[in-house]
Chains A and B, each alone.
Chain A
């Protein structure tokens, strides 16, 4: 995978740019989006990033597809919540708030060791099915054992009624956000360094060819087990942070939807890159919270985005950018930059048309009065007349048609005409 290829000294330095840019972004963004909602969203992004990075330890690094990673996130959150409540009940004496996520991590590790002990014997479909079953089991049990899980209402805690290690007042959302950033940075560094240990390399070997890894003298089951337990630990850490930012935890946090979202986010970002899951998790969090207030169709957009990534760009969004960057650096853009930009533009036009069609359909089928005037991309249209439909379909067809049947052949001809190298 791309990030694991050995590189020379100069590009080694270059490869550390995310470690500068992302923390800088984390410090600048709260200055721009300083509303209460904005800060909460940023905190959730930080948590989602830790969760997605831990998920990618399984999917990207070890080749284990899990449909139940939220189990460790949720159980970590529940245990952390119980500790927070104990601290609350003791009148704010006991474990400092900054260390509550460690409790979540310990719980994640604990359950990861237990459940991992029998689920990692095989990779592939068997592992995916076991995690699916475990996820459903834990989610259903969460409604049965209401002593621990608090039933459908969930459990509440109070982060202010807990001591702070550094005397910080966590009544302010911004201070809580910086706590999330600090933990996210620590988790990211640890997960990154883990990839560079022999364990990380063996995980890659087990992913690519378990038989050969075994011949080298490593037990694939043990390697998978350690990766699984460590991933569960970081998921629990994310769960513990969630308890601090939201002060509530309910059965949704162990549920299948949570497991699905982390899988979607990680894959959309790109499982072959360290920053892929970060980009994906941040994007998914933003889409989930902002798109859902814009349009009813956000789940559909989400699903379509995911399917297109799986079909056309299995290396994810970061993968698209990285491939284009490599092509550009190798001089593959020479003489055809215009065509590439033209294809990009045509594709965007096509997507724009498709969005118009979907929005029209939602208005037509879902609203009480389809003929009511309806604002679409700045125009006020009537969805029961043919014109907006014709125009929207027209834009979509022209955009995608130009991209696939005009731009793509043209690019292929130009590349084969100029040289034998270079790929799109």
Chain B
């Protein structure tokens, strides 16, 4: 039992940090532009594919830096020539634009790299067992993902709180017109933040593509879960995104690794495994794990629309 708990927490934290790499960018973009970027997970996917292709030529370590930059550049182009144009029509067309973009990016990825997963693997320098905990091996690469996430969080925090650029971004988050009146180029700040958020997602893809699988379906698998994280943490709040990522990562891993059902714990009490409540009574947690994020999403939006740390309602 203790092993399961320790193992779940370790893996849950790992999954949570990956979620945070994606959700931090998304929440920044939403907080500033009011755009819930449906294509955000597509940039995560682009990060993985760019790093895979670059890695073939330059090796993993160069790709680790180059791929997020390329993804950020792609994000900047999308913002400058797509979103900015749609912005004048209001928020719904913006949402729809990113929705369509997600489809197009998925198709383009399938076009260039094929529909089957690509063999994107951890570099040999990280592909060994870091430590063993109660008979379970923990690979160096997982430790590396944790390190990347920590560096990212600290860097993001320093950027937002301790630099002049961060000050302007924070100002543009709450009072874009005022920041504009002070002589800052607010549309440029928007483009920068959008590109930066996409680059963060791309960084998540560089390591996430190795940890999970790199195929054209990865964006549609991660996309909704990232939304859940951002809503649960509070739209626009970076610390909220961190806490929510860890909560969802750990919860989901727990539900997957313990085998629990009401019938198993209390006894079937003569309730058959049929009918609505019968099925619920016998439902095992492993099957609930897939639904859990969406349940959290709906419940959060009904009872606390501003999320855990949000300052304003979505």
Contact = CB atoms under 8 A, between A and B. Distances in A.
B103 interface: yes
Contacts of A307: 82, 97, 100-101, 104
A239 to B, nearest CB: 20
Contacts of A59: 92
Interface residues of B, number: 44
A408 to B, nearest CB: 15
Interface string A290-317: 0000000101101110110011001000
Contacts of A306: 96, 100, 103
Contacts of A130: 297-298, 301-302
Interface in B100-153: 100-101, 103-104, 107-108, 111-112, 114
Interface string B278-296: 0100010001001100110
B100 A310 contact: yes
Contacts of B82: 307, 311
Given A126-B301, A137-B291, A311-B86, A366 B114 contact: yes
Contacts of B107: 297, 299-300, 303
B227 interface: yes
A122 interface: yes
B70 to A, nearest CB: 19
Contacts of A124: 91-92, 314
Contact of A122 (B101, B103, B305): B305
A194 interface: no
B231 interface: yes
A351 interface: no
A118 B302 contact: yes
A283 to B, nearest CB: 15
A140 B101 CA distance: 25
Interface in B35-87: 36, 82, 85-86
Contacts of A126: 301, 305, 313-314
A243 to B, nearest CB: 21
Given A125-B314, A130-B302, A304-B104, A310 B91 contact: no
Contacts of A333: none
A137 B296 CA distance: 10
A314 B86 CA distance: 9
Contacts of B313: 122, 126
B2 interface: no
A137 B298 contact: yes
Contact of A133 (B92, B96, B112, B297): B297
Nearest to A358: B111
Given A118-B302, A133-B294, A136-B224, A144 B283 contact: yes
Interface in A101-155: 118-119, 122, 124-126, 128-130, 132-134, 136-137, 140-141, 144-145, 147-148
Contact of A125 (B91, B99, B295): B91
A277 to B, nearest CB: 15
B25 to A, nearest CB: 17
A113 B66 CA distance: 51
A300 B108 contact: yes
A16 interface: no
Nearest to A118: B302
Contact of B100 (A119, A144, A148, A303): A303
Nearest to B107: A300
A119 B301 CA distance: 9
Contact of A365 (B86, B93, B99, B112): B112
Contacts of A264: 100
Contacts of B227: 129, 132
Contacts of A125: 34, 36, 91, 95, 235, 314
Contact of A147 (B36, B101, B104, B274): B274
Contacts of B276: 145, 148
Interface of B is mostly: helix
Nearest to B104: A303
B294 A137 contact: yes
A137 B302 CA distance: 15
A81 B180 CA distance: 58
A361 interface: yes
A362 B96 CA distance: 26
Contacts of B291: 136-137, 140-141, 144
Contacts of B36: 125, 128-129
A125 B97 CA distance: 14
A361 B111 contact: yes
A310 B97 contact: yes
A267 interface: yes
A104 B85 CA distance: 41
A303 B93 CA distance: 14
Given A122-B305, A310-B86, A361-B111, A65 B294 contact: no
A73 B274 CA distance: 25
Interface string A251-283: 000000000100110010000000000000000
A218 B164 CA distance: 47
B275 interface: yes
A310 B102 CA distance: 14
Contacts of A297: 107, 111
Contacts of B302: 118-119, 130
B295 A137 contact: yes
Nearest to A63: B92
Nearest to A67: B99
B287 A303 contact: no
A260 B98 CA distance: 13
A310 B107 CA distance: 18
B275 A129 contact: no
A267 B99 CA distance: 12
A148 B280 CA distance: 13
10 contacts: A126-B305, A128-B36, A128-B95, A129-B231, A130-B298, A147-B279, A300-B108, A302-B103, A303-B103, A310-B96
10 residue pairs, one from A and one from B, having the closest CB atoms: A303-B103, A133-B297, A303-B104, A300-B107, A306-B100, A307-B100, A133-B298, A136-B294, A140-B291, A133-B294
Given A125-B36, A141-B291, 20 more contacts: A65-B92, A65-B95, A118-B302, A124-B91, A125-B91, A129-B227, A132-B297, A133-B294, A133-B298, A147-B275, A148-B276, A264-B100, A299-B103, A300-B104, A300-B107, A304-B104, A311-B82, A314-B89, A366-B111, A366-B114
